[in-house]
Amino acid sequence: QVQLVESGGGLVQPGGSLRLSCAASRIIFRIYTMAWYRQTPGKQRELVATITTDGRTNSADSVKGRFTISRDNAKNTVYLQMNSLKPEDTAVYYCNAHRIAEDYWGQGTQVTVSS
């Protein structure tokens, strides 16, 4: 019943933009803090941004001013708007639903920033 489905990844040139989407089940979306993580080979999974059930957001220093997390309660969807993309943003991006004792993960979507 718990399902997170990411979409929107792809290939983009440096300086370009992408918007990632994560569709969640209604109960997960209402109760859990939602987040985006990313991971590249040889690195630990990195927290990119979070958004709480009441809309409070936080972002990693590496993406502040460039990435924006948001949520659409009517669509049970969380978004990650990524602007001014850099090659170092290349990673698999994962949607996450979190409560204090549990986490659920999407399958990931590849973002590649390259000229």
pLDDT tens column, 1-50: 678 999 999 999 999 999 999 999 887 788 899 999 999 988 999 999 99
The single-letter DSSP state of residue 43 is S
Number of H helices, E strands in the chain: 1, 11
First to last CA, the chain: 40
Question: Residue 1: what pLDDT?
Answer: 63
Q: Is the pLDDT of residue 81 over 80?
A: yes
